[in-house]
């Protein structure tokens, strides 16, 4: 019996018939679709996807097709927290979802099926897939279609415990040695991981731009700053960019693990350096400085550091002023600021000048104490006496401290009156307290001229200091005239005594008599300080040389004059 054709089989006429254009187009389309749907799985695994966007659940990648591929965030480490647009990953296509996106799987790389494939992958340095089968001496055994060896140093893990976790996992690696004759294959996983990390970092570098504010965690601290992890790449937060105020050590302000909002200052993809700033997120203190700080203003601050030329004082975080050594004391020349100030001292100063352009404020410490020369002319009158210690001596004279910030010069010729001095140190010592008389005052030149020899107390000074108007004293008449008597009260001390009435004739007729020696002796023994003896006779006539009792009628200590009246 002759077999009949089934409905599914084409007839002989159909087999020999010429295909029409419509059937050719339909057949070609079907064949193309068949080939696309039946491509070897190895081809699909060679795709490299570039992240274009992320949402709350998925990561979208450009895989070179008209439609993007999609991966769940859970397919990435830490739920894709570190994944950013531009990152590259090896993927394979599993199909399409309802929205026509390509469904992808992560890190699927083809596994060679024969030695020819291995040799091609080795020659092209392609990434291949392999499965870790065991931990062996020196490394791992990996199935890449044939048994391959991966050294521990190229596994990408740090210790044996992590190597054990790789057993049974599919990894991506590269052939670094291939000997088909000996069937010796060596693979490297670390190189692939480093390349992927490098590619990810490069994309992150490309995504960063100066001026952006990003979040990061402090990874480590150094004397010059802090390294901040920005999600796979590190940026340097220099110590000068941590705060507007001076920071001596980063650990005084930051801690490892601390999360910061920082501003990107500079990105250098070639050197792979990122400069970060923390203080730049705060207002610049100097912007408001010209309005806040004016010359002549009194202000307090804290001494932050001392140098050879002065002391820096913090007026507020980010603004420091300088007290130069020349502005520290009216009294002495300050050689080292540490002689007066210490770090941490709170001092009151006067602003001398403000330069916002150069961010400089000059301060004065001595000005806050007041200028001692301001009222010197009123305070130190010519002829008045002062006391003070000798501060320093020069060949031409000695300087005496009159008050805080005021020194006077005693010229060598004004030190002693009885002899010539070769140097002030012949009679004076530094620190010795002396009494001097003011000769001249010049506040503008800040000069005060003094004399020690003219301020040495005399017997007249002592007598004037010890007596007052109304005191009864004894004296010897040394001269007489019709209107007054000149009376000697002591050695070199003379006074006048007006005489209203007496007998000039009798006085003229009487010859000069010898002085009453007994009375004079009594007076001298009492050092011309006490009154005359009541028993002393009082002659009716006044004679030169006679010792009489008088009463002080007038006493002028400034001029040194004394006027007496007969007692």
Assess whether 162 and 226 both reside in one domain: no
What is the C-alpha separation between 127 and 112, in angstroms, rounded?
10
Q: What is the pLDDT of residues 281-301, one digit of tens each?
A: 888 888 888 888 998 899 999
What is the C-alpha separation between 402 and 381, in angstroms, rounded?
13
- Between 502 and 564, the more confident residue is 564
Assess whether 100 and 123 both reside in one domain: no
What is the C-alpha separation between 188 and 464, in angstroms, rounded?
113
Assess whether 515 and 529 both reside in one domain: yes
User: What's the burial of 383, exposed, middle or buried (CB within 10 Å: 0-12/13-18/19+)?
Assistant: exposed
32 domain residue, yes or no: no
Assess whether 185 and 224 both reside in one domain: no
Assess whether 173 and 214 both reside in one domain: no
What 3-state DSSP class applies to 101?
A: coil
Whether the per-residue pLDDT at 503 is higher than 90: the answer is no
User: What's the burial of 484, exposed, middle or buried (CB within 10 Å: 0-12/13-18/19+)?
Assistant: middle
What was the pLDDT predicted at 110?
A: 55
Lowest mean pLDDT across 207-211, 361-365, 501-505: 501-505
What is the average per-residue pLDDT within 3-8?
38
26 domain residue, yes or no: no
Residues 6+ apart with CB under 8 A from 26: none
Write the CATH number for 239: 2.40.50.140
160 band by pLDDT with thresholds 50, 70 and 90: confident
Residues 6+ apart with CB under 8 A from 82: 76, 231, 232
What was the pLDDT predicted at 333?
A: 77
What was the pLDDT predicted at 324?
A: 93
What was the pLDDT predicted at 26?
A: 44
Q: What is the pLDDT of residues 344-377, one digit of tens each?
A: 999 999 999 999 888 899 999 988 887 788 788 8
Assess whether 329 and 256 both reside in one domain: no
> DSSP code of 180?
T
10 domain residue, yes or no: no
- Where among 369, 396, 411 does a domain terminate? 369
What is the C-alpha separation between 342 and 345, in angstroms, rounded?
6
Produce one character per residue of 342-378: b if its CB has 16 or more CB atoms within 10 Å, e if not: eeeeebebbbbebeeeeeebbbbbbbbeeebbeebee
Cα dist. 317→64, 302, 320, 323, 495 in Å? 55, 11, 8, 17, 74
269 domain residue, yes or no: yes
| Residue showing tokens 């004076």 | 428
What was the pLDDT predicted at 545?
A: 78
Assess whether 365 and 380 both reside in one domain: no
Assess whether 137 and 166 both reside in one domain: yes
Q: What is the pLDDT of residues 12-49, one digit of tens each?
A: 333 334 444 443 344 344 334 433 443 434 334 457 78
Assess whether 540 and 463 both reside in one domain: yes
Assess whether 483 and 554 both reside in one domain: yes
**Into how many domains does the chain fold?**
6
What was the pLDDT predicted at 558?
A: 81
293 domain residue, yes or no: no
> DSSP code of 20?
P
Whether the per-residue pLDDT at 159 is higher than 90: the answer is no
- Between 371 and 278, the more confident residue is 278
What is the C-alpha separation between 372 and 338, in angstroms, rounded?
24
467 domain residue, yes or no: yes
* % the chain with pLDDT above 90: 26
5 domain residue, yes or no: no
Cα dist. 364→266, 286, 293 in Å? 39, 20, 14
CA 126 to chain centre: 55
Assess whether 52 and 102 both reside in one domain: yes
What was the pLDDT predicted at 534?
A: 45
What was the pLDDT predicted at 168?
A: 86
- Where among 369, 392, 409 does a domain terminate? 369
What was the pLDDT predicted at 400?
A: 93
546 domain residue, yes or no: yes
Token pair, residue 90, equals 């090896």
- Where among 60, 82, 106 does a domain terminate? 106
Assess whether 256 and 186 both reside in one domain: no
What is the average per-residue pLDDT within 99-121?
75
Whether the per-residue pLDDT at 176 is higher than 70: the answer is yes
* Domain span holding position 97: 41-106
Q: 179, 147 in Cβ contact below 8 A?
A: no
């Amino acid at each position: 019996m002759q077999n009949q054709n089934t409905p599914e089989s084409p007839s002989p006429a159909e087999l020999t018939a010429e295909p029409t254009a419509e059937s050719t187009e339909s057949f070609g389309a079907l064949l193309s679709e068949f080939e696309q749907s039946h491509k070897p799985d190895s081809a699909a695994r060679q795709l490299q996807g570039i992240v274009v966007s992320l949402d709350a659940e998925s990561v979208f990648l450009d895989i070179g097709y008209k439609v993007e591929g999609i991966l769940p965030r859970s397919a990435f480490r830490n739920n894709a927290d570190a994944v950013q647009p531009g990152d590259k990953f090896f993927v394979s296509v599993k199909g399409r979802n309802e929205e026509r996106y390509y469904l992808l799987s992560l890190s699927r790389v083809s596994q060679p099926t024969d030695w020819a494939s291995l040799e091609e992958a080795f020659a092209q340095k392609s990434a291949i897939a392999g499965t870790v089968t065991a931990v062996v001496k020196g490394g791992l055994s990996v199935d890449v279609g044939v048994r391959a060896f991966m050294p521990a140093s190229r596994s990408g893990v740090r210790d044996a415990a992590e190597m054990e976790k790789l057993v049974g996992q599919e990894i991506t690696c590269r052939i670094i040695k291939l000997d088909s004759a000996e069937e010796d294959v060596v693979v490297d996983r670390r190189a692939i991981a480093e390349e992927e990390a490098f590619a990810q970092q490069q994309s992150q570098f490309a995504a960063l731009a100066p001026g952006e504010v990003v979040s990061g965690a402090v990874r480590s601290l150094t004397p010059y700053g802090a390294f901040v992890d920005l999600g796979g790449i590190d940026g340097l937060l220099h110590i000068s960019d941590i705060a507007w105020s001076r920071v001596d050590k980063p650990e005084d302000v930051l801690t490892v693990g601390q999360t910061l909002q920082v501003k990107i200052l500079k990105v250098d993809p070639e050197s792979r350096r990122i400069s970060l700033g923390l203080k730049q997120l705060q207002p610049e203190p100097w912007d408001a400085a010209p309005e806040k700080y004016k010359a002549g203003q009194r202000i307090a601050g804290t001494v932050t550091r001392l140098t050879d030329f002065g002391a820096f004082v913090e007026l507020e975080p980010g603004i420091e002023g300088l007290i130069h050594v020349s502005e520290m004391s009216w009294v002495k020349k300050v050689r080292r600021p540490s002689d007066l100030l210490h770090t941490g001292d709170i001092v009151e100063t006067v602003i001398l000048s403000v330069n916002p352009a150069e961010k400089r404020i000059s301060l004065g410490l001595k000005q806050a104490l007041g200028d001692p020369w301001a009222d010197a002319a009123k305070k130190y009158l010519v002829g008045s006496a002062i006391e003070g210690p000798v501060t320093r001596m020069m060949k031409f004279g000695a300087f005496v401290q009159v008050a805080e910030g005021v020194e006077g010069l005693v010229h060598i010729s004004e030190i002693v009156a009885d002899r010539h001095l070769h140097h002030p140190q012949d009679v004076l010592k530094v620190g010795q307290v002396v009494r001097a008389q003011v000769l001249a005052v010049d506040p503008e030149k800040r000069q005060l001229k003094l004399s020690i020899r003219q301020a040495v107390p005399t017997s007249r000074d002592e007598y004037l200091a010890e007596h007052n108007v109304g005191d009864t004293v004894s004296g010897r008449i040394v001269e007489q005239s019709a209107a007054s008597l000149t009376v000697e009260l002591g050695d070199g001390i003379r006074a006048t005594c007006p005489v209203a009435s007496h007998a000039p004739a009798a006085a003229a007729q009487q010859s000069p008599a010898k002085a009453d020696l007994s009375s004079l002796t009594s007076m001298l023994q009492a050092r011309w300080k006490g009154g005359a003896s009541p028993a002393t006779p009082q002659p009716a006539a006044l004679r030169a040389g006679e010792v009489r009792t008088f009463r002080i009628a007038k006493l002028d200590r400034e001029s040194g004059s004394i006027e007496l009246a007969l007692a």
